[in-house]
Amino acid sequence: MTITPLMPVYPRCGVRPVRGEHCHLIDEDGTHYLDFASGIAVNLLGHSHEGLISAIQKQAETLMHVSNLYGSPQGEELAQMLVDHTFADTVFFTNSGAEAVECAIKTARAYHQYEGNEERFEIITFKNAFHGRTMATISASNQDKMHKGFQPLLPGFKYVEFDDLEGAKAAVGPNTAGFLVEPVQGEGGIRPASQEFMQGLRTLADEHDLMLALDEVQCGVARTGTLYAYEQYGIVPDIVASAKGLGGGFPMGACLATEKAARGMVFGTHGSTYGGNPLAMAAGVAVMKAVANDEFLAEVRAKGERLRSRLEQFIGNYPDLFESVRGMGLMLGIKMKGEPRPFMVHLRDHHDLLTVAAGDQTLRLLPPLVIGDAEMDEFFDKLSAGAADYVQEIVS
Ligand SMILES: *Cc1c(COP(=O)(O)O)cnc(C)c1O
């Protein structure tokens, strides 16, 4: 037998974290890594946030799980917080991002089918998007590497170039149910959509009675400096998929919708055994209490601006290595001149700095949102040293 007990779908590296402290991960062997990956935009309160820990501990002692067949004071509390702080009128809780996107897709289709428009099932999505790894969510992406081995895909998706409003307009037809789009592409390389594009999609959706569904699984929950990224585009979506940061490390997600958009999501149409369980809800409430306020969000914006302007200055020292800085808030990327992976590995293995490679030759920087000045300085120390000896290595 050569297969590993963990199904070998991930090319795992040698870093084996066993403990987390604020913005650092501590390895089996005691190495402290500065964490600018945050479990891929998950650990927004860092790794040992007291409020989050005690909320989970308390709930675990009180009631961990009950069925959705019963009333849920815990779910009502978090749903009400999300409704109060967003466009949404109603929320379905899931256990992951992909499930939140699944719910968004089902909600968009059900809206039309419950109106009697069975032919309107097609969702227009955008190239290089990432929506998750379930059959529907890989079908929603045009990326062949995610499809290989898993055909046939789910029908009913049409792919258009990201940020191409004319392309989106041309793709709308009698079968269109709506759009599914990341306001800031994450895996695709930290690419924020333009204002014109997002506003144009809203207008198209209004003109044709289409659902505008946003995948904010990565960019949502304070990451970009507003609770959700759509706020910075001056638009109101119909549906938003949220997850990652929402549980601060506890696995959970949510599908947010307006009352109109959720018209088809009636008794018996959808469900989840674990979705919205009290333990997850306690984590979500603790996260929302920490981040859904003006002070915290203003801090994220200020830190994001500081990080960005220091990065912009820094990359000027290495014009052969780096091209540009992009992103919003603390969801930033450095577009590199070549593949980002070797540099990510170099920073990890020689400078104990964790970042994430993404598409479009981009190195992703996703620090915990609670990062302080000391960790910001530590980051630039590591990045400067890392770039200096990486360039040496390439030259020699
Ligand atoms: C991570 C991610 C998902 C999938 O989330 P999972 O929790 O891994 O299922 C979906 N959409 C976007 C934009 C993501 O970044």
Average of per-residue pLDDT values in the chain: 97
- C-alpha distances (whole Å) from 44 to each of 9, 23, 31, 223, 367 are 26, 10, 22, 8, 8
C-beta neighbour count of 359 within 10 angstroms: 19
Distance of CA 136 to the CA centre of its chain: 17
The CATH classification number of 17-48+299-395 equals 3.90.1150.10
Is residue 380 very low, low, confident or very high in pLDDT (cuts 50, 70, 90)?
very high
Q: Which of 395, 383, 396, 307 is nearest to 346 (CA)?
A: 383
Asked whether residue 161 carries a pLDDT value surpassing 90, the answer given is: yes
Instruction: Provide the sign of the torsion angle of the four alpha carbons 322, 325, 326, 328, taken in this order.
Output: positive
Residue with tokens 């379905």: 92
Q: Is 28 annotated in some ligand binding site?
A: no
Gap from CA of 41 to ligand 1 centroid (Å) = 10
Architecture of domain 63-291: 3-Layer(aba) Sandwich (3.40)
Question: In this predicted model, what pLDDT tens digit does every residue of 207-241 receive, in sequence order?
Answer: 999 999 999 999 999 999 999 999 999 999 999 99
C-alpha count within 13 angstroms, C-beta hemisphere, residue 69? 1
State the DSSP H helix or E strand holding residue 256, giving kind and residue range, or none if neither: strand 253-257
% residues pLDDT > 90 (the chain): 98
To the question of whether residue 225 is assigned a binding role by annotation, the answer is no
CB atoms closer than 10 angstroms to residue 381: 13
As a whole number of angstroms, the longest Cα–Cα distance in the chain is 67
The per-residue pLDDT for range 62-90, each reduced to its tens digit, is 999 999 999 999 999 999 999 999 999 99
Of 218, 223, 240, 250, best ligand 1 pocket probe by most atoms within 8 Å of the beta carbon: 218
- Give the phi and the psi of residue 33 in degrees, each rounded to 5: -105, 135
Q: How far is 177 from 114, CA to CA, in rounded Å? A: 12
Site of tokens 């209490």: 289
Query: Could you tell me where in the chain the CATH 3.90.1150.10 domains are found?
Result: 17-48+299-395
pLDDT score, position 259: 98
Range(s) within the chain of domains with CATH label 3.40.640.10:
63-291
> 216 labelled as ligand-binding?
yes
In terms of Cα–Cα distance, which of 223, 211, 215 is closest to 193? 215
Residue with tokens 């964790």: 354
Q: Which residues line ligand 1 (CB under 6 A)?
A: 96-98, 101, 130-132, 182, 186-187, 215, 217-218, 243-244
| pLDDT tens digit sequence for 283-315 | 999 999 999 999 999 999 999 999 999 999 999
Annotated binding residue 62: no
